[in-house]
C-alpha cells in the first residue's frame, strides 16, 4: 500500500515512516497540508491511505482528511491525534472517518485500515 503521512513533528514522522515501511508499505511524508496536497495532485503518485495528524501548521488535519475522502480516488483516511476535541470527533464520525488517539503504533493503524478496506490484499 502507498501511505501519505501528514505529521508536522519531524521526529514523529520519521518514526511513523519507519514503522509503516517495516510492514512493506511505501510512505510519502508531508509536514503540512500544502505538501500533502501537492503529493495528492502529483499524477505520478498513487496514494491508497492518508494518515493525518489533527494539528498541522497550515490547517486542520481532520478537515483535510474529510476533503481527501470525498475525492473520487477512493483514498482511505484516518486521523491520529492527541488533541481531538468532542466537536472534532463528532465531525469525523459524521463523515465516517476513523480516528485514533496518540500515542500508538502507526504501523498497526495502517494494518487495521488495510484489513478493513482492502481485505483481499493479505
The better pLDDT of the pair 106, 61 is held by 61
The tens digit of pLDDT for each residue in 6-47 reads: 999 999 999 999 999 999 999 999 999 999 999 999 999 999
Residues near 68 by Cβ (< 8 Å), separated by ≥ 6? 40, 50, 52, 75, 77
The yes-or-no verdict on residue 3 having pLDDT over 60 is yes
Q: What is the pTM of this model?
A: 0.88
- pLDDT tier for residue 62 given thresholds of 50, 70 and 90: very high
Number of domains in the chain: 1
pLDDT at 102: 77
For residue 109, give the 3-state DSSP assignment: helix
The yes-or-no verdict on residue 122 having pLDDT over 60 is no
Cα distances (Å, whole numbers) of residue 45 to 7, 39, 54, 65, 104: 19, 7, 23, 18, 27
Mean pLDDT, the chain, whole residue set: 92
Residue 71 sits in a domain whose CATH number is: 3.40.50.2300
* 3-state SS, one letter per residue, for 43-98: CCCCCCEEEEECEECCEEHHHHHHHHHCCCCCCEEEEEECCCCHHHHHHHHHCCCE
* Pairwise CA distance, residues 68 & 75, whole Å: 7
The domain containing residue 8 runs over which residues? 2-121
Amino acid at each position: 500500500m502507498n501511505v501519505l503521512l501528514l505529521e508536522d513533528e519531524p521526529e514523529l514522522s520519521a518514526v511513523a515512516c519507519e514503522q509503516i515501511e517495516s510492514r512493506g508499505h511505501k510512505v510519502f511524508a508531508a509536514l503540512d497540508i500544502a505538501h500533502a496536497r501537492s503529493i495528492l495532485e502529483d499524477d505520478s503518485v498513487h496514494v491508497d491511505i492518508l494518515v493525518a495528524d489533527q494539528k498541522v501548521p497550515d490547517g486542520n488535519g481532520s478537515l483535510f482528511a474529510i476533503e481527501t475522502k470525498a475525492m473520487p480516488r477512493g483514498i482511505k483516511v484516518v486521523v491520529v491525534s492527541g488533541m481531538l476535541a468532542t466537536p472534532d470527533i463528532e465531525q469525523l464520525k459524521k463523515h465516517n472517518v476513523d480516528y485514533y488517539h496518540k500515542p500508538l503504533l502507526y504501523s498497526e493503524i495502517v494494518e487495521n485500515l488495510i484489513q478493513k478496506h482492502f481485505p483481499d490484499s493479505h
